[in-house]
Structure 1
Amino acid sequence: MPYGLCNAPGTFQRLMERIFGDQRFHSLLLYLDDVVVFSSTFKQHLERLESVFSRLREHGLKLKLKKCHFFQPEVKFLGHVVSASGVSTDPDKISAVRDWSTPSTVAELRSFLGFASYYRRFVQGFARYAAPLHKLVAKLQPHPNRNRMGRNATLRDHWDWGCDQAFNTLRDKLISAPVLGYADFSKPFVLEVDASGLGLGAVLSQEQDGGPRRPVAYASRGLRPTERNMDNYSAMKLELLQLKWAVTDKFRDYLLGTKFTVLTDNNPLCYLRTAKLGAVEQRWAAQLALFDFTIEYRPGVCNKNADALSRLPAPPVPVSMDEITSGIFVPAEIKSVVVSPSVEIQAIDACPTRTRANLQLLQAEDPVLKAFLALRGCRRCRYHTPAG
């Protein structure tokens, strides 16, 4: 693969996924030419290595021995250290943060925020510490109708005590980032959620090896301008928004197909079954119907993790068109669809989802759609009938 081509990384990644697609996330991790083979026993590791070597040999790919490391207790992968104890930040990468000087231009500040955001899952309350810095970048960013200096603007006249405190605190938090646990999909997850007038917060954790719950990831974001309007967003609606965001957007890959428990300090959210929902809430409930979970009430004094994240002032989040969806179809093999629904799943069927087969059956029984489908079928037959 020649270097310098703009489509070279994507092409090579597709090649590697074609070779190891069935083994990815099952016995190995894959990113371009970095392949991490993992296993739980020595014998299993030998078998998986032999399988990898066989695939490479079959497709004519070669390995450079000096770049290979075998039987390592921990490895560095994409800026992270992966070991038996969990996932942590790469000390070599974080050492650069320790000596990072105070940014003097917008470009330098953006560079720091981009680096820090890559490790935001390790920092509880990342949105709080980064909020003054994001606000400063938004203030100095170029605008077509305004006279602003842009990315090369100096920060000397705008850098205040709050920005300096945020920069130093965020840097210290990255240096002392905790080790996050691995997600064990054979065990249930616990999702702690909370919302406030400042933002949304969530903590995904799991009980492992009989010990206390261990955090798997942190998440938080600020409210959009429309979400800050308390006339349109009641406390119940804001908590439901937080639940929808955490489950369907932030931790979807973790939670889809597994059973989990939601802990909230909003008692009305536990009665979602009998609540009278508006059109927006029904749409959110329909998206949540794909997941298998139960909701438990926990007082706010005991919900400190998510509560602290939700009260962190963060920059407003712009509206994305990707969030406007008309419907979601899930393969039948997803476990959360075929398992017996829990009470909470039945509780949010005010706007139920239907499978593709159900929709086709209902369309065939509808008198209007039935005539339309018959007309479309006749046209297809006419267009595809071979000439005699």
Structure 2
Amino acid sequence: MALVELEELKEEIEELLEKGFIRPSTSPWGAPVLFVKKKDGSMRLCIDYCQLNRVVFVGHVISGDGVMPDPSKVKAVMEWRIPENETEVRSFLGLAGYYRRFVEGFSIIADPLTKLLWKGLRIDELNYPMHDLELAAIVHALKIWRHYLFGEEFQIFTDHKSLKYILTQKELNLRQRRWIELLKDYDCTIDYHLGKANVVADASSRKSSGTLANLGSHNLILLLEMRSMNTKLEVDQMVGLLAALQLKPDFVDQIKEAQTRDPFLLRMLERMK
């Protein structure tokens, strides 16, 4: 600030203090001061209090008109890319839900995304034994895909071994008997499949960024690094194969034995001697 402006500011402040229009304050907040040059060459002090009436606080704009969401945050929500996995859906709902008070019917709008994250059970299902929970999953799937499965012969694979014999068991509780009646409407068989051998289900539970197909098509840098470590990656339409070459003791011995018969290496050895 120029010396002339500083002197004018001092005089204006002293005059305002004497008239009682302002009082001394230690607050870090202040009003912008603007000097306008008049025709006679003197300076006129202009104090702008507009910014004091509008404050951005924790993602909200507080002003005389009320509380509004920060426009920059709203822009981030509008430009958010489409979520591709559970983590991204939860992250988006967390950001958008912070401003739910400003969106009428937010819970109804976000309900489809919220259901994607729902993993809970009903209150009565919380008391089900594990055997009944596994059977309930089969019944639930049959109800959803009834229009595809009814009248067709198909197999049901489960990693819960006891369900393989559910159709031949004699001692059943009332809940199981009711569900067995539903199973009899379908031409199906229940077979046991080891959980850790269920590659298809295991792959579908992984994030899209970590699947073999995604590595082969998008993350080329990581793919090249894997190849430099003698790791081979092959991706088919249904399955993927990730293999690594490991040197075992017997394999190392085979290499040493083959080197003793290699003509090129023998000539190199003679030159070194």
Scaled by the length of structure 1, the TM-score of the pair is 0.26
Structure with greater contact order relative to length (CA < 8 Å, sep ≥ 6):
1
Q: Greater helix share, 1 or 2?
A: 2
Scaled by the length of structure 2, the TM-score of the pair is 0.35
Largest Rg, 1 or 2: 2
